[in-house]
Amino acid sequence: MRLNLLILRSANPEELTAFYMTLGLRFVHHRHGAGPYHYSAEMDGFVLEIYPLSKSQTRPDPFVRLGFSVVNLDELLRKVSPGSILQVPLKSEWGYRCVIRDPEGRRVELVEDVLERE
């Protein structure tokens, strides 16, 4: 078994999508049947979707934490707002990593994957 789908509900889907595009994700804007329009990005069989808040939600869930392997962490961090960096890049037992915050407060862990560079 492996995770293949994660849906984030957003108060501002366009802004949130733009943030994740800065990290390198490529989104398409579409909808399934009569459902709401949303953004969808596929990465090696995993799909991240960003939907507007449901009618019963008053705010997005800031407690979801995401993690991405990236090719060049320092280069990527030059593209994000310095205010979004929560933990500066450091070498750790998990690799060269840092933690940033998306526009709605979710923590996003970025780890440089040396295998991705090859």
Among 24, 20, 23, 56, residue whose Cα is nearest residue 39? 20
pLDDT at position 113 is 79
Rounded-to-integer distance, Cα 4 and Cα 117, Å: 24
pLDDT at position 94 is 87
pLDDT bucket at 106, cuts 50 / 70 / 90? very high
Give the CATH number of domain 5-117: 3.10.180.10
Mean of the per-residue pLDDT values of the chain: 93
pLDDT at position 115 is 53
pLDDT mean over 59-64: 93
pLDDT mean over 19-33: 95
Domains of the chain: which residue ranges? 5-117
Q: What is the pTM of this model?
A: 0.90
pLDDT at position 118 is 47
Q: Is 105's pLDDT higher than 90?
A: yes
Rounded-to-integer distance, Cα 67 and Cα 53, Å: 22
